[in-house]
Amino acid sequence: MNELWQKAIVEPLGRLQQQVLDYLPNLFLAVFVLVVGLVAAWLVKEIVSRLLRAVRFDRLCERMGLATVIERVGLYRSSSLFAGRLMQGFILLLTLVLVLEALAPEVSEQLLTRFMLYLPQIGVAAIVVVGGALVGKFLGRTVLIAAVNAAIPGARPLAGIVQLFVWILSWVVALEQLGIGRTTLVVTFGILFGGIVAALAIAFGMAAKDWAHGILDSVARRREEEKDIGDIRHV
């Protein structure tokens, strides 16, 4: 009975106790890394955002049109704060990996390798999205001003379509870069875009022939009118 008690209860408990005792340093280390990581992330965020604010990074972003993009994408009012939060997120991610490393080295190693391999793709995708947003905004504004100066009705929707198209294109490229629904996305986009163009072409050419004629006629007339502000010689 005594032997059974020893084998069934005491020895497993002893082993468990030993395992817990063996694991405790890792646990303490993980907690320590977590606390240090949280503090470091917060500190880095504060330092980066204050430093960028001091060198007028917000103004630079506003001039480049990046501030509006950040507002829309990142929901942050200040570009400096956004950059700080980005750094904070990165350090928190590293902390998480280190905590995992402390708790389960074999799992973490695999995860870390996969994560590191994936990191460049995330970077490229982020650049594509931000770049697409900037290019879309720039092209949208170019179209808007040109359309207004050419007295084309519906200048704003036209500019909006151009901007939206560039944005969608950049998101498709970014998601493809990340390997998310690669084929599905490209095919969907192709079908959708091709479909819209085909539908518009058919509608414009056949079903709404008179309407299309009216629009083209009005555009041509307005172009003529635009030229006809008189014989003014401006310089």
Q: Which is nearer to other proteins, 54 or 117 (CB)?
A: 54
- Per DSSP, the residues of 160-213 read HHHHHHHHHHHHHHHHHHHTSSHHHHHHHHHHHHHHHHHHHHHIIIIITHHHHH
Chain-centre distance of CA 111, in angstroms?
Answer: 23
Rounded-to-integer distance, Cα 14 and Cα 4, Å:
15
Residue from the set 115, 138, 193, 204 that interacts with other proteins by CB under 8 A = 138
From candidates 117, 183, 210, 230, binder to other proteins by CB under 8 A: 230
Token pair, residue 70, equals 């950040």
184 binds other proteins (CB under 8 A): no
CB closer to other proteins, 50 vs 223: 223
- Size of site (CB under 8 A) for other proteins: 25
151 in contact with other proteins (CB under 8 A): yes
Q: Could you say which residues in the range 7-46 bind other proteins, by CB under 8 A?
A: none
Task: Identify the burial level of 58 via C-beta atoms within 10 angstroms of its C-beta, where 0-12 means exposed, 13-18 middle and 19 or more buried.
Answer: buried
Of 91, 144, 166, 175, the one binding other proteins by CB under 8 A: 144
Least Cβ distance, residue 90 to other proteins (angstroms): 30
Q: Are 106 and 74 in contact (CB under 8 A)?
A: no
Q: Is 227 in the site for other proteins (CB under 8 A)?
A: yes
Site residues, other proteins (CB under 8 A) = 63, 65, 138, 141-142, 144-149, 151, 155-156, 225-235
